[in-house]
């Protein structure tokens, strides 16, 4: 599978990643088989979150990581905005995922100005991020934003994030043109990696999935 460098990191990610959100909807063995199938076909980017099934998704991925950790770039996310809660969630994710380190750690759903204020405040999540990095628990730092390009534009200015995950598809472009018109150029300028989510706009583009996927990949 073709790979691309993620921003200023040294990571080479496969074009198609395996997202862990829907792993909570399938039985344990099927989720493990699916994850192994993805790795067997040349994929190397697996992303989940502690919120997905209250750790269920991480644990399913973690079963595969027992034997294949070095074959993939592993990412997870935390919704916590305070330093202490964030550090607790990192340790919990490490346990769920059966690993000693997380390659890309996301501040999950950083969509609102109030959330941005909390993570940048004293004893906020970014202080926890720095501590975890120094301890070798996480390598690179990212954030996800689902609906507010204006907040994402502010976020990339307050901390040297390595990557950002945003929705990119031709359906949402009509509602949120700033993702492509403003955020993408700014991220490129700062060499921040961009991870695209929702290429099919939560299923709205299923009838034209090939066109939708091609749009997102280019």
Position 88 scores a pLDDT of 98
CATH of the domain at 76: 3.20.20.100
Among 22-31, 101-110, 206-215, the least confident range: 206-215
State the pLDDT at residue 167. 95
Confidence of residue 117 (pLDDT cuts 50, 70, 90): very high
pLDDT of the residue at 105: 99
Q: Percent of the chain having pLDDT more than 90?
A: 86
Q: How far apart are CA 171 and CA 194, in angstroms?
A: 18
Indicate whether 174 pLDDT > 90: no
Q: Which two tokens stand for residue 174?
A: 């009509």
Let me know: does 19 contact 167? Beta carbons within 8 Å.
no
The pLDDT value given to residue 64: 99
Structural domain range at position 209? 3-217
Residues found in the chain = 218
Asked if 88 contacts 125 with a C-beta cutoff of 8 angstroms, the reply is no
The reported pTM is 0.95
pLDDT band at 206 (very low <50, low <70, confident <90, very high): confident
φ, ψ (nearest 5 deg) of residue 205: -105, 25
Q: In 3D, which of 167, 212, 173 has the Cα closest to residue 194?
A: 167
- The structural domain count of the chain equals 1
pLDDT at 218: 81
Alpha helices in the chain (DSSP H): 28-40, 56-68, 83-97, 113-120, 125-134, 149-158, 178, 184-189, 209-217
Sheet strands side by side (includes 193-197)? 18-19, 45-47, 73-78, 102-107, 138-144, 163-167, 193-197
Q: 32-85: per-residue pLDDT in tens?
A: 999 999 999 999 999 999 999 999 999 999 999 999 999 999 999 999 999 999
């Amino acid at each position: 599978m073709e790979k691309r460098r993620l921003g200023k990191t040294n990571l080479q990610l496969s074009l198609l990643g395996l997202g862990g959100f829907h792993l909570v909807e399938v039985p344990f063995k099927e989720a493990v088989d699916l994850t192994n199938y993805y790795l067997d076909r040349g994929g190397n980017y697996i992303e989940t979150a502690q919120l997905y099934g209250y750790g269920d998704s991480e644990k399913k991925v973690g079963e595969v990581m027992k034997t294949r950790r070095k074959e993939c770039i592993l990412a997870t996310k935390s919704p916590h905005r305070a330093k202490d809660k964030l550090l607790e969630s990192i340790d919990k994710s490490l346990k769920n995922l059966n690993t000693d380190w997380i390659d890309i750690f996301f501040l999950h759903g950083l969509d609102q100005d109030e959330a941005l204020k909390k993570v940048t405040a004293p004893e906020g999540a970014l202080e926890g991020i720095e501590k975890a990095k120094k301890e070798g628990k996480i390598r690179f730092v990212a954030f996800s934003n689902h609906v507010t390009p204006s907040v994402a534009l502010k976020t990339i200015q307050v901390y040297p994030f390595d990557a950002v995950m945003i929705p990119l598809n031709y359906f949402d472009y009509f509602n949120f043109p700033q993702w492509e018109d403003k955020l993408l150029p700014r991220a490129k300028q700062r060499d921040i990696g961009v991870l695209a989510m929702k290429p099919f706009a939560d299923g709205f583009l299923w009838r034209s999935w090939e066109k939708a996927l091609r749009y997102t990949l280019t």
